[in-house]
Amino acid sequence: MSLLHLAIIAPLLWAILVPLFYKSFRQIHTGWFVLPLPIILFIYFFSFISTTRHQAIVMETLNWIPSMGINFTAKVDGLGLLFALLITGIGALVILYSIYYLSKTKEKLNTFYTYLLLFMGAMLGVVLSDNLIVMYAFWELTSFSSFLLIGYWYHREKSRYGAQKSMIITVFGGLAMLGGIVLLHLMTGSFSITEIISQSQDIVSHSLFIPALLCVLLGAFTKSAQFPFHIWLPDAMEAPTPVSAYLHSATMVKAGIYLVARLTPVFAVDGLWVWLVAGFGIVTLFWGSFSAVKQTDLKSILAFSTVSQLGLIMSLLGVGAAALHFPGVKDNLYIVATTAAVFHLINHATFKGSLFMVAGIVDHETGTRDIRKLGGLMHFMPITFTIAIIGTFSMAGLPPFNGFLSKEMFFTGMLHVLELDLFNIQSVAILFPIIAWIASVFTFIYSMMLVFKTFTGKHQPEKLDKKPHEAPIGMLISPTILASLVIIIFFFPNSLLSENIISPALAAIFPSLLNTGTEFVTHIGIWHGPTPELFMTLGVIALGILLYLTFPKWRKVYKLFPDKLALNRLYDGIIDRSQSGSYRLTTSYMTGSIRSYLVYIFTFFIIILATSLVVKDAFKLDTVHVSSIGIYELLLALFVVIGAISTVFAKTRLASILLLGAVGYTVSLFYVLFRAPDLALTQLVIETVSVALFLVCFYHLPKLRKEDSRVRFKLTNALISVGVGVMVTLIALSAHSNKFFKSISQYYIENTYTEAAGKNMVNVILVDFRGFDTLFEITVLAIASLGIYGMIRLRLTRRDEE
């Protein structure tokens, strides 16, 4: 295993040690044990910058299932490194913040940090795996671990609801994505992303290409909370604030963004990818920003803000994907859109991470996140207020903060859509810059609401659960670092990011353009003069201020949307009807009657096997190798039949037990006739023990009533029993008659003594040739014995307590 593989699974291995540390050092906050890991990983991944900045790639392969083309191939290029740095860097700051946010006496920190490390390792696996099947395994692990994190406070109904909702929607998308992966493999014969990208031009005309494209996008849209699948993300805010800061600023929701960016070289050769990604992105941008304005909870505002920002990034990736359709253009206009997407991805992680932490601080120090109860906190929490100003102004796209730069580039990318001659729907292109501008206005409004309604205005101490005060210094370190990056990136975007992070990421997204003369050396300018983008920004600020000040007058517009048509109502309806329908279906056959269950089992047994015999034309009767049947075999067979039938018609349980035992003893006589004394002895022992156990149980059974002792003929039972008997007989005859291979018995005859030094063939087979089978059988019996012993002990204990 290489060091790169170890770095990916290190969080998963570290998670195993967390409970041990928590148990042994309760006086120390468990976060201090976890914190060094993401810092070390960040430093390790940071060392790859010198490699990726020259468009070089590092790949390490660990064989897993090579026969199926499934290997754990870790790949570090510009795109994977960008996400790895975000995952570990933001992860370190979140863990530091959580040390002061979560109480070591009130919270189960071992559980929290175990879940968090599972999630961190899963995300690293997603962004650094070159094999699609391995990536999918990590992808689903992110869904599972995020479910645990969101439902961390499982005693809260809303936490359980939010966790379940995120799990259902993202796993549904993940299964769709798996379908797309399988279709890609059918087209290319490979699970390697690198190899699939190299065949993109060959598979674009394949009949499975569009279905694969749609399945992959479904997985990406559900994970990155694109409309209409965004409804899980606001409910996920019930998680502890450190979880929200981590999942929704730099990791969980960015997985869908990563998938779209990574597979753009595969699918963007078709114009449908461009318009679907850009279209869903721009709709999500608008709906998220529009919905955020009406929220009153700080984390709810940030949740819908995240939805909106994810839509912004997605729309830029869609527009930027058009660059593949103009590979000969040296200064490709659409590269600007992808540059903006990558740049805003970084900016969003900085300002959104700090704002989530600010929301957590306000909640931690005041006892509420409701902006209707807050106000005037700037006098009590000046440092938190400063961080909030930096984060919200960056989110609103104001200078001198990094969000302003990427927002200007966003406007540039949307204006380039007007020049996009692709897929013959140019008339729709005009909507992109219009929706982008309107959404930016709403973004400005909710940004101002978030900061000013919380920190300015009238202080309302009577509505607060706590007396507000500034957070402890430990809780302020992480958001301060992120807020500082917001300003530093604005003034030094090129020296920090352009050549080191953004250009290598663009080269990874567009590997086919490297040989066409396309320049990936990006230059991010602060001032470009009086451009259309600048006037759009001034319009956003002017209209945004006006609408913010007059919000009480026009907020009634939200009541125009009926609740019955809400997507959350639709989701709840689907879940409720699914639960009630499955309950009715289950109760219809789960009657509690063993007889009913046996009827279902044996009926399907007959139908499936009979159908197989007919469809496959598998029935064959070959009497060439059948031995002659003697009088003793006929008599014994007659005794077995009589004993079995008599068991059914016996009027007492004791008679049934004795007759059943007689059947078993008669079968042992067959082994004697066939010269298999070992099997005969085994059968005799089993029957003796079985009869004895039946007689022991007989003592505890209730007495039969007179009506129970009467034997009544039941046609269903008769048909099923005859059908099972006939099917087993037909299968046995067919198996004996259809011999595709030589019997293995001759091998045992020749090798029993020479290989195992034993003369008793049966014993040698059981102990040597099939030793593992015997070992597993013994293990199963041991487990069953322990279970029975535990049940008996549990029952005795309950009796003692009573």
Secondary structure string (H, E, C) spanning 92-146: HHHHHHHHHHCCCCCCCHHHHHHHHHHHHHHHHHHHHECEHHHHHHHHHHHHHHH
Which pLDDT score is estimated for 45? 96
| Cα–Cα nearest to 59, from 154, 195, 181, 231 | 195
Domain boundary among 523, 549, 575: 549
DSSP character for 627? Answer: P
The sign one gets for the Cα dihedral 501, 503, 507, 510 is positive
Q: Which of 100-104, 140-144, 315-319 has the lowest mean pLDDT?
A: 100-104
**Maximum C-alpha span of the chain:** 110
140 and 163 share one domain: yes
The residue that leads in pLDDT, 9 or 417, is 9
* Cβ neighbours for 471, distance < 8 A, ≥ 6 positions apart: 100, 361, 364, 365, 381, 383, 384
In a domain, 259, yes or no: no
DSSP-derived pairing of the beta strands 58-65 and 70-76: antiparallel
Residue 326 predicted with pLDDT over 80:
no
Q: Are 344 and 310 in contact (CB under 8 A)?
A: no
Count H helices and E strands in the chain, helices first: 36, 2
The reply to whether 724 and 758 lie within a common domain is no
My answer on whether 41 and 22 are in the same domain is: yes
Q: What percent of the chain has pLDDT over 90?
A: 59
What is the residue whose two structure tokens read 């749609």?
214
| pLDDT surpassing 70 at residue 789 | yes
Residues 145 and 10 in one domain: yes
Q: What confidence score (pLDDT) does residue 801 get?
A: 44
Quickly state the pLDDT bin for 445 (edges 50, 70, 90): very high
Nearest CA-CA partner of 217 in 226, 207, 204: 226
Helices marked H in 745-770 — which ranges? Answer: 745-756, 761-764
CB 166 within 8 A of CB 146: yes
756 and 661 inside one domain: no
Neighbouring C-alpha atoms within 13 Å toward the C-beta of 119:
28
684 CB-near residues (< 8 Å, 6+ apart):
665, 668
Look at residue 802 in the predicted model and tell me its pLDDT: 43
Whether the bond into 493 is cis, omega within 30 of 0: no
Would you place residue 799 in the very low, low, confident or very high pLDDT band (cuts 50, 70, 90)?
very low
Helices (H), 239-295: 241-247, 254-267, 271-292
Neighbours of 443 (CB within 10 A): 28
Query: For residue range 66-118, what is the model confidence (pLDDT) as tens digits?
Result: 888 899 999 999 999 999 999 999 999 999 999 999 988 788 899 999 999 99
Residue 254 lies in a domain: no
Give the range among 144-148, 504-508, 529-533 with minimum mean pLDDT.
Answer: 529-533
Whether residues 326 and 178 fall in one domain = no
Bigger pLDDT: 192 or 738? 192
pLDDT band at 521 (very low <50, low <70, confident <90, very high): low
Q: Using 50, 70 and 90 to split pLDDT, how confident is the model at 762? A: confident
Q: Do 209 and 302 fall within a single domain?
A: no
Spatial separation of the C-alpha atoms in residues 191 and 184, rounded to whole Å? 8
**How far apart are the C-alpha atoms of 314 and 230, rounded to whole Å?**
13
Q: Write out the two tokens for 9.
A: 């699974």
For residue 759, pLDDT over 90 is answered with no
Residue 520 or 347, more confident: 347
C-beta atoms surrounding 580 within 10 Å: 10
Structure tokens that stand for 242 in this block = 């450190």
Query: pLDDT tens, 215-239?
Result: 999 999 999 999 999 999 999 988 9
CA pair distance 365, 360, nearest whole angstrom: 9
Alpha helices in 674-770 (DSSP H): 677-700, 706-709, 715-737, 745-756, 761-764
Would you say 753 and 668 are in contact if contact means Cβ atoms under 8 Å apart? no
Q: Could you give the CA distance from residue 747 to residue 134 in angstroms, rounded to a whole number?
A: 41
The pLDDT > 70 percentage for the chain reads 94
User: Token pair for residue 136?
Assistant: 């999918």
In this prediction, residue 409 carries a pLDDT of: 93
Q: Which domain holds residue 727?
A: 594-745
Q: Note whether residue 554 is domain-resident.
A: no
Into how many domains does the chain fold?
4
Compute the average pLDDT of residues 648-662. Answer: 83
In a domain, 113, yes or no: yes
Q: Tokens in use for 688? A: 């003796």
Helix (H, G, I), strand (E, B) or coil at 694: helix
CA–CA separation, 218 and 169 (whole Å):
10
* DSSP summary character for residue 62: E
Same domain as 643, residue 518 = no
- Angle of helix 298-320 relative to helix 254-267, nearest 10 degrees, comes to 10
The C-alpha atoms of residue 637 and residue 136 are separated, in whole angstroms, by: 56
pLDDT at site 706: 54
Give the CA count within 13 Å in the CB-facing half-sphere of 307: 32
What is the structure's pLDDT at 277?
95
Task: State pLDDT tens for residues 382-406.
Answer: 999 999 999 999 999 999 999 999 9
Residue type, position 335, single letter: I
Over its C-alpha atoms, the chain yields an Rg (Å, rounded) of 34
**DSSP SS3 for 58:** strand
**Residue 217 sits in the same domain as residue 340:** no
CA nearest 166: which of 74, 87, 231? Answer: 231
Those residues whose C-beta lies under 8 Å from the C-beta of residue 259, and which sit 6 or more positions away, are: 177, 216, 219, 220, 223
Nearest CA-CA partner of 66 in 123, 3, 6, 133: 133
Give the CA count within 13 Å in the CB-facing half-sphere of 210: 5
Task: Say whether both 651 and 725 belong to one domain.
Answer: yes
Per-residue pLDDT band for 733 (boundaries 50, 70, 90) equals confident
Q: Is the pLDDT at 178 greater than 50, yes or no?
A: yes
pLDDT for residue 710: 52
Tokens 């796209």 locate to: 397
Distance in angstroms (rounded) separating the CA atoms of residues 250 and 88: 9
Query: What is the model's pLDDT at position 705?
Result: 58
* Beta-ladder partners of 598: none
380 vs 717: which has the higher pLDDT: 380
Spatial separation of the C-alpha atoms in residues 720 and 729, rounded to whole Å = 14
Task: Give the burial string for 162-171 (b: 16+ CB within 10 Å, else e).
Answer: bbbbbbbbbb
Residue 582 belongs to some domain of the structure: no
- Please give the Cα distance from 89 to 77 (Å, whole number): 17
CB 24 within 8 A of CB 136: no
H or E segment to which residue 374 belongs: none
Is 587 part of any domain? no
Q: Are residues 669 and 728 in the same domain?
A: yes
Using the predicted structure, report yes or no on whether residue 795 has a pLDDT greater than 60. no
Asked if residues 255 and 516 have their Cβ atoms less than 8 Å apart, the reply is: no
> Is pLDDT above 70 for 328?
no
Q: Are residues 750 and 729 in the same domain?
A: no
Rounded to an integer, the average pLDDT of 242-267 is 92
Is residue 220 within 8 A of residue 256, CB to CB? The reply is yes
What CA dihedral angle connects 63, 66, 72 and 78, to 10 degrees?
Answer: 110
Task: Determine the residue type at 670.
Answer: F
User: Is the pLDDT score of 594 beyond 90?
Assistant: no
Report yes or no on 568 lying in a domain: no
Of 694 and 371, the structure prediction assigns the larger pLDDT to 371
**668-712 pLDDT, tens per residue?**
998 888 888 878 888 899 889 888 888 887 767 766 655 554 555
How is residue 21 written in tokens?
Answer: 């540390």
Residue 284 belongs to a domain: yes
